[in-house]
Each structure stands twice: as structure tokens, then as C-alpha cells.
């Protein structure tokens, strides 16, 4: 038995969505497998590669040259894109491996396989080891994507995407729409908000909440693309044609329904509809007691997987079947908490109170604990409550949620947010964000939060932009997604791109505080002052004179030299600080924009002592240069631990 150990570039390829196709149409699956073999083999041989073996629908190949491996991957993806029969994921790693007869083994093989699994449909991911070798080759372009903890790999691996002429499509699919404009996954769904049929409009929280919980059940199913909550809720109360819903959200089916809640009785109707022809794939009516709410949600989720012919893993089945609480009053209060928390602004405080009441009824309710933690953290970040007041409450709730449900991703994301914004433990922040994404890569909020950390703390702008772009793919119609993308682009100094992202957020929701704020900020940097002040004044009005909006306007006026208007706004903040909490971090930046470095440092020192979350983002490109040059500011950065 001959055995040789050597350094080799290992390439793994895998057909997107093949397992699901095999369960639905075995003959078609075998046809695609044959086409895949016929497409790849000659290209691998053309570039001096060694076809090792097929692993189901995957192909393992090795190369003596990293350049040959990457070029082969590009040629394969280009050919696959032209053929339009299927999509591939490709991963490449360089490492020491053992060749034994006609097979290959070792960590290099395992890492390449994990990288392939992390690649987007139609895309090529490579390890940093590979990227460093091809970095100087002009014909091979790459971009940094993220650092990821790969399963059974001891250390995190920095991943890069290879730029190709092919345009990766989103998600597994073998179905095209009639115009062939985009690939619509057969197993894809949007859950549009169920209609509240109760006489009481105050019951809106219940219909919205049940819709959200159905989405949360479905989003954990590996072989199902689920449109995000924020995008699906764009169609609340809309008379939009189902075909339009499908095209805009990139889904083949839509679940819609209605809920009537009266006392302890529920009437729920639901129907699953094929977008292309309007055919009802399934419909059901439930007349049940409130005690059966979770059973109804489970039955709807299982009916969808059955009609779309999705094979469930045992863990997915367990997730759907899991009853979050046995106390229906606690569940209703939790739904109210989520309803108000999702509205942000001053409604965060309302949500917090409902979560408190829910936990009082069932302290073992993990979702209520993580909802309460999020409400505390957001109240602290948005300046509704002082950081030192919310920190111990949030931490205790996060730890309770983790203990109650270790597989729930939300508390890990919350803990990442806690460490990034309040405790300033950057290592723990990053570790928990990455763990949350590993548990549930389809949660856009986790991508938002992690992107903020990457941009503001590490200044890893390419990776941060990747995460906000991932959130946009999950939420294509979300104003928030585009606004967060604008935040990261702004921090990176990409002001034109930030403006375009903010403009898209504004077009999706003209009443979005964040979109108007980001539009104004980018326009200030671009010296388009009249438009900037108009956008910032609109944000001020929308937010009911939120303190951040006041400081944004101070910046705009100071930049134009209109210090009188800036002083009036500073006086407003000073007066409000006598009766309400006003974050010192933004007041410090406002003073710096006005040229008063002594006052700026006074406020920033207080912000540091108070654990003001704004401190995490004080060292970004638009921070006044005169402040950055101040020795006291540099000393403050050292104390916080931010990069100089």
C-alpha cells in the first residue's frame, strides 16, 4: 500500500440543492450528476488536476499548483453558469495531505470540504493560505469575506471569495421564472402577515406574532428558502398580486391566512399558494382553544414541508415541535413584547415591560428572556436608559436563555451585542456573534450587529460589508437592511455607496428614521448641505427630536460654519439632560464638531465611565481630525482598547 505525504491544493465541489432534488425526481438527479461529471472532468484535466473521486454529488480533486486549482474553479463556474442546468459551491485549501493509492486524506482535505460548504451558490471560497499565493496575480481577483469557525477545525479560517464573470444566483434551484430573469428556488416561501379578523385592533400583536413564529419555525429548515420577516411584512395589508410578491421576494410559494381571537377561542385559516399559477397547494381552518396555539403552528409548518416535499432532519423536526412555554398568558405577553420591540424608538420601553411581565409568569421561557435582554440592550444603545442600569439585567436574562435553550441562536447574538456595546470585551463579542451565526445563519439581525462590531471596532470593512450584504439577501425589501449597509459603508469612508444604500432604504420606507439619518450624514460629507439639513430635520421630526438627530444637525450646522444654530441645539441637549437621560458620547462628538476639544473630552470621559455604547464607534473616518490628534483622545482609545 503506497503512501506519500505532500503539499497540495485541494478542491471540493458540490451541487446546490441536489439532496432535495434526489428526493423529488431521482431520474433528473442522475441526469444532472452525469452532466456535472461531463462538465468538470475535462476542465480539471486541462489544468493539470487530478480527479480523485466523487462523494455523492461532490467532486474531490487535487492540484500541484494553487493557480491551476483556482483557474479550474473559475472555468468550472463559468461553464456551469452558461449551461444553466445546476449550480455549484466550490471550496479550495492548500495543505499537507496523504496520498494513498487513488485516494487522499488529511486536514487539508477536511478544511477544503468545510470551506466548500460555506461557499454561496455559484461561488468559490478559498482559504487565506490560497489567497496569499495568488494575491499578486492580476488575472485572479479575490475579496475578503469573513473569518469563520469551521466545524472540527481548531482555529478560525479567514475566507476569501474568488471574483468570476459568473453571477451567483441566490439559493438552490432547478426552476426558472418565465422571463428567466432570476432563479426561483422550488422550495421557497414567504409568510405574509396573517390578517387580524378580531374586532379589536389591539389584537394586531397576536396576528403579527403568530406570523413571525411560523417564520421562525421554517427558517431553521436547511432545504427551504424563507423570505425574511421584515421583507414579508412589507406586504401587510397590501393588495399586491401574489406573482409580484413572489418575484420581489424570490419565492415560489406564499403562505397567507387570517386569525380571529376572541377570549380563549381561536379561528385560524391558512393557505399555501403557488405563485406562478395561483393554485392552492394546501389550505386548512382551525377552530381551537388558545391552549392549542403551538399545535396549530406546528401543523402549519409540517403541512408546508409535506406539500413542498422537504425531508426534515430530526433536529429540524424537534425545533418545530418544541413548545416554548406552557403558559398561554406568558406567550401572549411575549408576543406583545416582540410587537413593540420591532417598532423600535420609544416603543422599546413598552416591549421591555411586556417581556418583564411574561418572565414573571414563566421564568423558564427562554424566548421571553432573550426578548427582555434585547429590549434592555437596545434601550441602552439608543439612549433610552443608562448603560449601567441595563447591563446587569441584560446579562442575567441572556445567561438564563442560554441555560434554558443552548441551541437558540438569539441569546448568543445578544451576548455579542452586550460585549461589543457595553462591556467592550471584543474577543467575547466576536466569539458569540460567530457562534450565533453558526447556529442560525439566516438571522439578518445577527448579521447587522456583527457588521457594526466589525466596522466600528476592528475596522474590518470588507467583512462587515459582506455581512450587511448577506442581510440584504435575506431581507431584500427591508429598509433597515439597506440602512445598516449604509452605516457600514459610511464607516468605511465609501460615502457615495453609503448614499446609494441609504437612498434605497429611504425609497423602501420614507418614514425610516435610520434611512433619513444616513442620507443626511452622507450628504454632509458630500458637502450637499441644503439636502443634508432637509434629511436630518426630517429624521428629527420622525424621531420626535431624538438626541442622536439633534447631534447630527449640530454636525451639519457646524460643518457649514453656522455655529449659532449649532449652539442652540447644544443648549437644547443641556436643558433636556436635567430631566432625561442624554448620552454623553454624542454630546462629546457634537462639541468636537464645534471645535471645543476641552468640552468634547469632558463628555467623552464621562461616556467612558458610564459605559456609553457610542464609545465603540468614536474612532471612525468622520470623527473630527482635530479630536483624533488630541493626546487625550488617543489615551482614551488605549483605555477602551480600540485600535488607534
522 contacts 490 by C-beta, under 8 angstroms: yes
In whole angstroms, give the CA distance from residue 374 to residue 158: 29
CA-wise closest residue to 133 among 69, 59, 52: 69
Write the pLDDT tens digit of every residue in 64-78: 888 888 988 888 887
- Residues in Cβ contact with 132 at an 8 Å cutoff, skipping those fewer than 6 apart: none
CA-wise closest residue to 233 among 207, 202, 199: 207
541 contacts 554 by C-beta, under 8 angstroms: no
More confident residue, 364 or 24: 364
- CA angle, 233 as apex, 232 and 238 as ends, to 5°? 100
Q: Where are the alpha helices (DSSP H) in 382-443?
A: 387-404, 410-418, 426-439
In whole angstroms, give the CA distance from residue 563 to residue 595: 10
> Could you tell me how many residues make up the chain?
644
More confident residue, 136 or 63: 63
Write the pLDDT tens digit of every residue in 95-115: 878 887 777 787 778 888 888
pLDDT of residue 529: 94
pTM exceeding 0.75:
no
Q: At what angle do helices 387-404 and 366-381 cross, to 10 degrees?
A: 160
Per-residue pLDDT at 173 exceeds 80: no
Averaged over 80-100, what is the pLDDT? 80
Q: Which of 130-139, 369-378, 488-497, 541-550 has the lowest mean pLDDT?
A: 130-139
Per-residue pLDDT at 417 exceeds 60: yes
In whole angstroms, give the CA distance from residue 618 to residue 643: 11
Write the pLDDT tens digit of every residue in 297-344: 889 888 888 888 887 777 778 777 788 898 989 999 999 999 888 877
C-alpha cell read off for 338: 416582540
Amino acid at each position: 500500500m503506497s503512501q506519500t505525504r505532500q503539499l497540495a491544493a485541494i478542491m471540493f465541489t458540490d451541487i446546490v440543492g441536489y439532496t432535495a432534488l434526489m428526493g423529488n425526481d431521482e431520474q433528473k438527479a442522475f441526469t444532472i450528476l452525469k452532466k456535472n461529471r461531463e462538465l468538470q472532468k475535462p476542465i480539471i484535466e486541462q489544468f493539470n488536476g487530478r480527479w480523485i473521486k466523487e462523494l455523492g454529488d461532490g467532486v474531490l480533486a487535487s492540484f500541484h499548483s494553487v493557480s491551476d486549482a483556482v483557474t479550474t474553479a473559475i472555468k468550472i463556474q463559468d461553464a456551469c453558469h452558461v449551461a444553466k442546468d445546476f449550480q455549484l459551491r466550490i471550496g479550495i485549501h492548500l495543505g499537507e495531505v496523504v496520498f494513498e493509492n487513488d485516494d487522499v486524506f488529511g486536514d487539508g482535505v477536511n478544511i477544503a470540504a468545510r470551506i466548500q460548504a460555506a461557499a454561496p451558490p455559484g461561488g468559490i471560497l478559498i482559504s487565506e493560505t490560497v489567497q496569499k499565493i495568488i494575491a499578486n496575480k492580476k488575472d485572479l481577483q479575490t475579496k475578503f469575506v469573513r473569518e469563520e469557525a469551521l466545524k472540527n477545525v481548531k482555529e478560525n479560517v479567514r475566507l476569501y471569495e474568488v471574483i468570476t464573470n459568473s453571477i451567483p444566483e441566490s439559493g438552490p434551484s432547478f426552476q426558472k421564472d418565465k422571463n428567466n430573469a432570476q432563479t426561483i428556488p422550488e422550495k421557497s416561501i414567504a409568510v405574509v402577515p396573517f390578517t387580524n379578523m378580531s374586532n379589536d385592533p389591539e389584537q394586531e400583536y397576536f396576528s403579527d406574532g403568530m406570523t413571525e413564529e411560523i417564520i421562525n419555525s421554517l427558517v431553521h429548515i436547511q432545504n427551504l428558502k424563507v423570505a425574511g420577516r421584515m421583507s414579508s411584512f412589507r406586504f401587510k395589508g397590501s393588495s399586491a398580486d401574489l406573482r409580484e410578491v413572489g418575484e420581489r421576494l424570490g419565492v415560489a410559494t406564499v403562505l397567507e391566512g387570517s386569525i380571529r381571537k376572541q377570549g380563549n377561542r381561536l379561528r385560524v385559516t391558512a393557505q399555501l399558494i403557488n405563485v406562478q399559477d395561483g393554485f392552492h397547494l394546501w389550505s386548512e381552518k382551525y377552530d381551537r382553544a388558545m391552549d392549542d396555539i403551538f399545535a396549530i403552528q406546528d401543523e402549519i409548518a409540517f403541512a408546508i414541508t409535506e406539500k413542498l416535499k422537504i425531508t426534515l432532519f430530526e433536529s429540524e423536526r424537534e425545533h418545530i415541535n418544541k413548545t416554548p412555554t406552557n403558559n398561554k398568558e406568558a406567550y401572549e405577553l411575549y408576543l406583545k413584547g416582540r410587537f413593540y420591540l420591532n417598532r423600535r424608538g420609544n416603543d422599546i420601553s413598552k416591549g421591555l415591560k411586556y417581556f418583564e411581565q411574561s418572565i414573571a409568569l414563566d421564568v423558564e421561557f427562554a424566548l421571553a428572556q432573550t426578548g427582555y435582554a434585547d429590549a434592555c440592550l437596545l434601550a441602552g444603545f439608543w439612549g433610552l436608559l443608562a448603560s449601567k442600569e441595563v447591563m446587569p439585567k441584560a446579562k442575567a436574562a441572556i445567561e438564563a436563555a442560554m441555560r434554558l435553550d443552548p441551541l437558540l441562536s438569539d441569546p448568543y447574538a445578544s451576548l455579542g451585542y452586550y460585549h461589543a456595546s457595553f462591556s467592550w470585551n471584543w474577543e467575547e463579542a466576536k466569539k458569540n456573534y460567530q457562534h450565533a451565526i453558526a447556529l442560525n445563519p439566516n438571522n439578518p439581525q445577527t448579521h447587522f450587529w456583527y457588521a457594526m462590531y466589525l466596522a466600528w471596532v476592528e475596522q474590518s470593512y470588507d467583512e462587515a460589508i459582506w455581512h450587511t450584504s448577506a442581510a440584504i439577501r435575506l431581507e431584500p425589501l427591508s429598509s433597515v437592511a439597506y440602512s445598516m449597509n449604509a452605516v457600514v459603508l459610511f464607516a468605511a469612508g465609501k460615502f457615495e455607496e453609503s448614499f446609494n444604500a441609504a437612498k434605497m432604504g429611504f425609497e423602501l420606507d420614507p418614514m425610516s428614521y435610520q434611512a433619513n439619518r444616513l442620507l443626511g450624514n452622507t450628504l454632509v460629507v458630500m458637502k450637499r448641505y441644503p439636502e443634508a439639513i432637509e434629511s436630518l430635520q426630517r429624521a428629527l421630526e420622525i424621531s420626535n427630536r431624538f438626541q442622536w438627530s439633534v447631534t447630527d444637525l449640530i454636525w451639519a450646522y457646524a460643518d457649514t460654519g453656522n455655529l449659532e444654530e449649532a449652539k442652540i441645539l447644544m443648549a437644547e441637549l443641556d436643558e433636556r439632560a436635567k430631566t432625561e437621560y442624554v448620552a454623553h458620547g454624542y454630546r462629546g462628538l457634537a462639541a468636537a464638531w464645534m471645535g471645543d476639544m476641552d468640552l468634547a473630552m469632558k463628555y467623552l470621559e464621562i461616556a467612558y465611565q458610564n459605559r456609553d455604547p457610542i464609545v465603540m464607534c468614536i474612532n471612525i473616518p468622520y470623527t473630527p481630525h482635530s479630536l483624533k490628534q488630541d493626546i487625550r483622545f488617543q489615551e482614551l482609545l488605549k483605555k477602551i482598547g480600540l485600535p488607534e
